[in-house]
Structure 1
């Protein structure tokens, strides 16, 4: 496949080269048959690894009612683009590394510890956690700090449902999310590019906002490994790195958590990291964005919307200087 590289180092395929999902799935099945029959060579096995093995175990369907109150009208990004163009540094820094290597990660059994300033701490397995509240499908924009965006149908429930179950104490002011960091399964964890495990955080009132989604699936199926299986957050008004993946621990805490990117480069990545076209990254503008899969490299850029278009969250930041608290 031919790619064009933009000045920010982002590889974007031409839309004419995006395979419809039904053809993509058929091709994947055909490749698997060839591989089982020992016909496939090294290149074919590489394709098999990237396009089949990296999917979550079983490709389980998730029954969920679409919540029309949380659906943007933009055209959804193709499944192929959303699952092969990813940031997930635990598997490498290249956009194709997660789909290439995430198949090694086992998503069952999986437990999540919920602890800290809560009246009802718990350690719960992923399937029980999935059943704590009715699942909903929501179509959200996701905006990356690097200047690209996607539109994805996610499946989950508002994180506020979990907050209600565990009953935070009056001391809880923030929520800290901690990802899996396993060198045996995640080759990127061997690199010092970030401090491991990956940690992110929200202020408690942000975490209570109904848009903040505890997410188990996308496109009507369980999350593919490369997209954060089996459990991630999606916080659509913030840059994508705030939507932490493969969560193993959730802590309710008094103090603002030390987060991975804020530790790595505090002058570039603030704790809040709200999508804000008026606050540039030190190395590039945030005023515009390119939608992945939309008419190729030379497509007209879109204007970036304040809070990624989710203006309902503005009240969370009343009186704050969003250039200072970036």
Structure 2
């Protein structure tokens, strides 16, 4: 059997989701769209539709975005399948509405947010970010969302809070079993979480976030490898001790807590010195912190980034 590395797959080889979606998926999505037509846009945000006017962000890169087809059909979302095409094919396994997000732990004002509540926290911005996968491929994605810091301000972190833990939705009845210790858990240091670049995304390409990309709300941290971006988040916890994340449990020698993009520290199975941008044939050099060093390198002053990888 021929096994091909993700970095070797060209955009022309990515099957358009329209060609492989099952009839069951089509009917499920059609039902969601019918419901969406009868409800307010904020309530049906996760089902479909435009997000309306978005503020342009000065934090965006000027690089052209990767094609929408690639962004929405070539995904890592293991709860929906381990092949890159699986998440787009298995969207019926996750229902993004209705949705609630709990924020708890070391906060003065723990609270549960609905999607309507989240959309009112701050104006939605379009932020075009470079994104880098630990497997060696990269994209440029126009996210829509708001700073995670805006959410954290609402709950008032306590002085003892040092880390933020993110828990993704998991349904044993419909989602992948095995592979990882579910549910998916990720984490950031509190100062990383409060950094202006750290985004809670609710959309891309000006529309509501598709299921395969982490609907209805996901984390985006552009200077870190993609696995840090917890998808379909149901809980955010502020804690004192560093969370044990899903990939750290699965492979502690391969997946560190910080996961900062670093061309000088290779993954045991992939070089991080170069990357292949989806839509390009030639490889390019990987930039420290994925090109965001000017904004975030100061967060790690004095740290040995080989040890804290």
Q: Give the corresponding residue for 2:216.
A: 230
Distance change >3 Å, CA 167–CA 14, structure 1 → 2:
closer
Runs (4+) of structure 1 exceeding 6 A deviation are none
CA–CA distance in structure 1, aligned partners of residues 132 and 262 of structure 2: 10
Q: Give the corresponding residue for 1:270.
A: 256
Gap regions ≥5 residues in structure 2: 33-44
CA–CA distance in structure 1, aligned partners of residues 53 and 187 of structure 2: 27
Question: Matched residue pairs, number?
Answer: 294
- 1:300 to 2:282 alignment: yes
- 1:84 to 2:73 alignment: yes
| Residues 14-46 of structure 1 deviation map (CA, whole Å, 9 limit, x = unaligned) | 44x779xxxx8xx95xxxxxxxxxxxxxx8653
SS of the equivalent of 1:83 reads: helix
How much has 1:183 moved relative to structure 2? 2.0
| Residues 160-206 of structure 1 deviation map (CA, whole Å, 9 limit, x = unaligned) | 111111110001000000000102332x1x2x210100000000000
The TM-score normalised by the length of structure 1 is 0.84
The TM-score normalised by the length of structure 2 is 0.89
How much has 1:76 moved relative to structure 2? 0.5
Contact 2:11 2:70 (C-alpha < 8 Å) held by counterparts = no
| Residues 29-74 of structure 1 deviation map (CA, whole Å, 9 limit, x = unaligned) | xxxxxxxxxxxxxx86538848x94998542211243434111121
Contact 2:124 2:145 (C-alpha < 8 Å) held by counterparts = yes
Instruction: Summarize the alignment of residues 10-25 of structure 1 with structure 2, pairs less than 5 Å apart.
Output: 10=7, 12-15=9-12
Q: Give the corresponding residue for 2:183.
A: 197
Q: Give the corresponding residue for 1:118.
A: 107
SS of the equivalent of 1:59 reads: coil
Q: Give the corresponding residue for 1:108.
A: 97
Distance change >3 Å, CA 184–CA 277, structure 1 → 2:
same
How much has 1:102 moved relative to structure 2? 1.7
Contact 2:126 2:143 (C-alpha < 8 Å) held by counterparts = yes
Q: CA RMSD in A?
A: 2.5
Q: Give the corresponding residue for 2:230.
A: 244
| Residues 79-111 of structure 1 deviation map (CA, whole Å, 9 limit, x = unaligned) | 110011000000111001100112231111110
Q: Give the corresponding residue for 1:37.
A: none
Q: Give the corresponding residue for 1:280.
A: 266
Gap regions ≥5 residues in structure 1: 29-42
Q: Give the corresponding residue for 1:31.
A: none
SS of the equivalent of 2:202 reads: strand
SS of the equivalent of 2:158 reads: coil
Q: Give the corresponding residue for 1:309.
A: 291
SS of the equivalent of 1:195 reads: coil
